[in-house]
């Protein structure tokens, strides 16, 4: 069971932003920008992007469609934000093997993930 599965199950606490039957959004414990949220689908069968099939189309489409609402709750829908997924492999670290989307914003972001200092 991943950390995110435990958060979804309520076995671990999180700083929740939005929750419904299909997705959960919460603040990242180790933020890399002023606003750093995570959005996860509640079903646990998707570890990475390549696990997504047509059977998940509604779930993933729903999640994507909710991101502007989550950004609005975070107060960053107008100023813009970045959505990132780490698809783990030799070149990219994916700490948690449960598909999730990082939402970063709240300050000026550079060309890459790191905020501009
Ligand atoms: P990944 O590398 O898998 O794309 O990112 C995992 C993210 O989950 C990291 O940004 C990390 O800070 C965050 N994270 C790891 N454990 C926890 C936790 O227990 N609670 C919260 N809120 N975030 C976590």
Of 1, 2, 38, which is best to mutate to test ligand 1, by the most ligand atoms within 8 angstroms of its C-beta?
A: 38
CA–centroid distance, 112 to ligand 1, in Å, is 19
pLDDT band at 111 (very low <50, low <70, confident <90, very high): confident
H-type alpha helices, 33-102: 57-74
State the Cα–Cα distance between residues 89 and 109, nearest whole angstrom: 25
Q: Which tokens in the block code for residue 32?
A: 């890399």
Q: How confident is the model at residue 80 (pLDDT cuts 50, 70, 90)?
A: very high
Q: Ligand 1 pocket check: which of 8, 17, 30 to mutate, most ligand atoms within 8 Å of Cβ?
A: 30
- Ligand 1 centre distance from Cα of residue 94 (Å): 9
Residues 8, 2, 40, 74, CA torsion sign? positive
For the stretch 37-72, pLDDT in tens is: 999 999 999 999 999 999 999 999 999 999 999 999
Residues with CB under 6 A from ligand 1: 3, 12, 14, 26-30, 38, 86, 93-96
Binning pLDDT at 50, 70 and 90, where does residue 28 land?
very high
Give me the mean pLDDT over the 77-100 stretch.
96
Helices (H), the chain: 3-8, 57-74
Q: C-alpha angle with apex 79: 86 to 63, nearest 5 degrees? A: 45
How would you classify residue 7: left for phi > 0, otherwise alpha for psi between -120 and 50, otherwise beta? alpha
For residue 105, the model assigns a pLDDT of 96
Q: What is the pLDDT of residue 113?
A: 58
Domains of the chain with bracketed CATH = 3-105 (3.30.428.10)
């Amino acid at each position: 069971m991943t950390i995110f599965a435990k958060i979804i199950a309520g076995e671990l606490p999180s700083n929740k932003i939005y929750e419904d039957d299909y997705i959960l959004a919460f603040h990242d414990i180790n933020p890399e920008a002023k606003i750093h949220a995570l959005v996860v689908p509640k079903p646990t069968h998707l570890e990475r992007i390549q696990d997504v099939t047509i059977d998940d189309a509604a779930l993933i489409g729903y999640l994507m469609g909710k991101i502007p609402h989550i950004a609005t709750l975070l107060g960053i829908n107008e100023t813009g934000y970045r959505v990132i997924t780490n698809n783990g492999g030799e070149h990219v670290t994916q700490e948690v093997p449960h598909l999730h989307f990082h939402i970063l914003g709240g300050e000026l972001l550079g060309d890459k993930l790191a905020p501009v200092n």
